[in-house]
Amino acid sequence: MPSSDDLAGVAGHRPETTSSHMMKTTKRGRPFLKDTLDLFATLIVSLDLGVHKQFFRTFHNSFTTDEAAQHLAQLKFSQSGRGPDPRDPSRIVTTTTTTTFSMTRDMAKTMCQHFMDARLIENAADRGSNLFKERGVYVLTPKGLHVLERFITKNGISADPLAAVFSSQPICLKLLHLERRSIDDEIIISQSVVAALFRRFAGRSANYMPDPSNPPDPSQDYHERSKGIPLMDVGGSGYIGRNNTPAAKYCFQAVTALEWLCDFTSIVGRDEAAEMAAHFVRYGLITLVSDKRKGNDSAIIFTVRGSAPTDSEHSNVQPTGEFRCTAKAIYRISDEGRRVARWDSNAQAAGARNSPNTSQTNLKGQPKRPSIEQAESSTAATERNYGSGDSSSTLANAAENKIHRRISMSERMHEQYEMAERRVHGQKESNTDRLKSILEQPALRSLFREFLKGNFCEENLSFWLEVQDFKRKFNITSSAIAAVPARVGKATPGQAAMEKHHESLIQMAFMIYNMYLAPSSQCELNIDHGLRNELVAYLSEILTDLTGKQFSGRVEPEQAQSLNATQLQTMIRLYDRIQTHVFRLMATDSVPKFIKTPRYMALEDWQGQDEDEMADNDTIASHVNPAMPPGLEEDETEVGRAYWTVSQKANERAVKPLGVPPDRQLRPGS
């Protein structure tokens, strides 16, 4: 049961307020998705992931059942934010909110089972197990790492303790999110949501995995699976080898589909995955090939219902859809499914691996391309919207309509929407817009850094990024620990975390100054003389007052101890002005030269292919005919959409081989 305490760091104590409530649960008996993800990430941040042994095997970056249960029994999450004091805007107020989760051991184990169902954690010794056991060792899945990264980025949590996990394990690069109803946390089903999910499921082309006789390592296997559901060719008597003509192509096992949907989307649990697969059947995107279970074998069959249009244009849409969750059930992607997935057009745009039994496997003249993930946006919060459904058009055409789309909060923040609008209307992209795009995309940013290094002005980019990180860390910080109630007179976990965070901010502020702005510094910036003098004058004033010594031009460690939040805020304002100056310098001097380099133009060509795919999906249609469960009135209907988020850390790892020409780059894990 979570409870919250609010504390404000202002002159004169504000009364402490406490509230408590039970977690909301769905009709399936699980907590709402947002609560599940937040509690999972809070638990992982509080744990000290280490080395554990089981069955004579060693597992790094893992935790045990006992550790998870002990932490969940008394878990505290503290978040501190800074802002102007309403009574005195010149002062900075620090507000700390502490949320405490408390539960019994059995409840903690149940929560961990929900984490497993959502594919956030897995049994280290038995990856195929779906049960959270009393004595077990567990590790994070790639999906769990993606969720964790978004959480720590959003809440200003230091990622240093988790650096080994993020650097050594695969991370889900693109996670597709399906919006849910606020009343019951069920996925909002609409035509284009199903289309968006299916395109992600089917992939850009038929995904036939590498030769099973030479199995890839886990990282490479995960990367191959991320391209789309693994497919095979099936005949009447079983699987058909490469030298035979198959009776059915583009087939997959039902259980494999459920696992894939849980691994690469926000779907939580096989029951939810089976319902979405049943919608694939209802829309005619997949069909049953065979189910060779014996007569006495049990079978779980999920059935979904919805209205079916009567016109001939929508003949593929059925009023019901049925998906069989058995080990023997095999489905195939239908002709309609291939049309919705646009395999033919994608294969023409870029070379793709086809069925091993077709003559198109080794097409000549098709340009090889780097991993499509290299063209994704850089921030962990990047969202790509697909919109809600429209029963007046087919699934394949839902993305063709180019209807004006909704704008995500991430796009508002990064001004990508306005830039896209100018491109659509044929307006020339300014160097300022180009620089914003470069700074937001790891592939371009890394290439831009190499260019600046060759022109002996890399410090401009480094300073801009350092200040951007400094500003983000100043605004918010969070911590999560498993703690007993604090004794009287002792600082709360939130207060202790804030004090430690404040010390690190002071060190960071003066590190930036000593590195880029102090006279004869290691990476001294070429900036306006007036800006430099204003910063030096302010530092001289505050440090002379604090230490009683005259400011010498550099800040020594013993001098950087006693700055308060208001003084840090003033330094941020000065840094922000210098950052703006550096941004303009890069936009006017460096970007025009950079965009003419062959490597930039080659990378832009590859990214253009992915942007076309994104634009095809970025649609909104009318809010007609979403599937509605019994008891939910029409005026309560919420409009659904699908969007994906991109992992910053996975993206940075994907663009490491930038020194290699694009046509020779290897995909991550290959």
- Kindly indicate the confidence band of residue 66, based on its pLDDT and cuts at 50, 70 and 90: very high
Total residues found in the chain within this entry: 670
- Kindly indicate the confidence band of residue 196, based on its pLDDT and cuts at 50, 70 and 90: very high
pLDDT over threshold 80, residue 202: yes
- Kindly indicate the confidence band of residue 14, based on its pLDDT and cuts at 50, 70 and 90: very low
- For the chain, the maximum distance between any two Cα atoms, rounded to a whole number of angstroms, is 90
Per-residue pLDDT at 3: 53
Contact 255, 244 (CB under 8 A): no
pLDDT over threshold 50, residue 430: yes
Question: pLDDT averaged over the chain?
Answer: 74
For the chain, helix, strand, coil in percent to 5 are 45, 15, 40
pLDDT over threshold 60, residue 477: yes
- Kindly indicate the confidence band of residue 664, based on its pLDDT and cuts at 50, 70 and 90: very low
User: Quick one: average pLDDT of 196-223?
Assistant: 84
pLDDT over threshold 50, residue 102: yes
Residue 637 β-bridge partners: none
Contact 295, 226 (CB under 8 A): no
Can you give 447-472 as a three-state secondary structure string? HHHHHHHHCCCHHHHHHHHHHHHHHH
- Kindly indicate the confidence band of residue 340, based on its pLDDT and cuts at 50, 70 and 90: very high
User: Quick one: average pLDDT of 577-594?
Assistant: 93
Per-residue pLDDT at 132: 93
The kind and range of the H/E element at 540 are: helix 529-547
Q: Class for domain 434-478+496-612, per CATH?
A: mainly alpha
Distance CA 46, CA 505 (A): 22
Lowest-confidence range among 80-89, 198-207, 251-260? Answer: 80-89
Lowest-confidence range among 134-148, 196-210, 315-329, 601-615? Answer: 601-615
Structure tokens at 641: 């959409």
CATH topology of domain 187-237+245-345: Arc Repressor Mutant, subunit A (1.10.10)
Per-residue pLDDT at 638: 61
Query: For the segment 241-267, what is each residue's pLDDT rounded down to a tens digit?
Result: 444 555 789 999 999 999 999 999 999
pLDDT over threshold 50, residue 361: no
Handedness of CA 582, 584, 587, 593 (dihedral sign): negative
Per-residue pLDDT at 177: 93
Contact 603, 385 (CB under 8 A): no
**Domain 434-478+496-612 in the same topology as domain 24-172:** no
pLDDT over threshold 50, residue 500: yes
The kind and range of the H/E element at 5 are: strand 2-9
- Kindly indicate the confidence band of residue 322, based on its pLDDT and cuts at 50, 70 and 90: very high
Structural domain boundaries in the chain: 24-172, 187-237+245-345, 434-478+496-612
pLDDT over threshold 60, residue 601: yes
Q: What is the CATH number of domain 24-172?
A: 1.10.10
Structure tokens at 279: 């919608």
Distance CA 370, CA 385 (A): 24
Lowest-confidence range among 325-339, 379-393, 543-557, 649-663? Answer: 379-393
Residue 393 β-bridge partners: none
